[in-house]
């Protein structure tokens, strides 16, 4: 969930193995690994978190998204099932 909108839903194991939304990937990137030898891709988000009182138009994550496209600022993404029981709200899918 980002600024009050669900961006991705999946069963726990599926979500941890295959995060799809850029915000989900950023969250997992920020978490410490379970073992010190595990190497993960680091994803650092630029910019400030927008106000939840006055969220941005379109996709609420677009001001910080590294994959932003012009439509992200204009159109709120619809949820799409990318595999069985794994839903993501992102224009990348």
**Is 68 domain-assigned?**
yes
87: enclosing H helix or E strand? strand 86-89
Domain count, the chain: 1
pLDDT of residue 54: 93
Domain coverage including residue 35: 8-89
Average predicted confidence (pLDDT) for the chain? 91
pTM of the model: 0.87
Digit-coded pLDDT (tens) for 22-62: 999 999 888 777 777 777 777 888 888 899 999 999 999 99
pLDDT of residue 47: 85
**Is 3 domain-assigned?**
no
For the stretch 62-93, what's the b/e string if a residue is b when 16 or more beta carbons lie within 10 angstroms of its beta carbon?
Answer: bbbbeebeeebeeeebeeeebeeebbbbbbee
12: enclosing H helix or E strand? helix 12-17
Q: What percent of the chain has pLDDT over 90?
A: 74
d(CA 75, CA 77): 6
pLDDT of residue 5: 94
d(CA 78, CA 32): 31
**Is 2 domain-assigned?**
no
Other CB atoms within a 10 A radius of the CB of residue 45 amount to 17
**Is 27 domain-assigned?**
yes
């Amino acid at each position: 969930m980002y600024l009050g909108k669900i961006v991705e839903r999946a069963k726990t194991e599926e979500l941890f193995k295959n995060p799809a939304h850029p915000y989900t990937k950023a969250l997992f990137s920020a978490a410490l690994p379970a073992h010190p030898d595990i190497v993960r891709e680091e994803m650092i988000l630029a910019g400030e978190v927008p106000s939840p009182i006055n969220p941005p138009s379109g996709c609420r994550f677009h001001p910080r998204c590294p994959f932003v496209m012009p439509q992200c600022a204009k159109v709120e993404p619809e949820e799409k099932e990318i595999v069985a029981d794994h839903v993501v709200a992102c224009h990348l899918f």
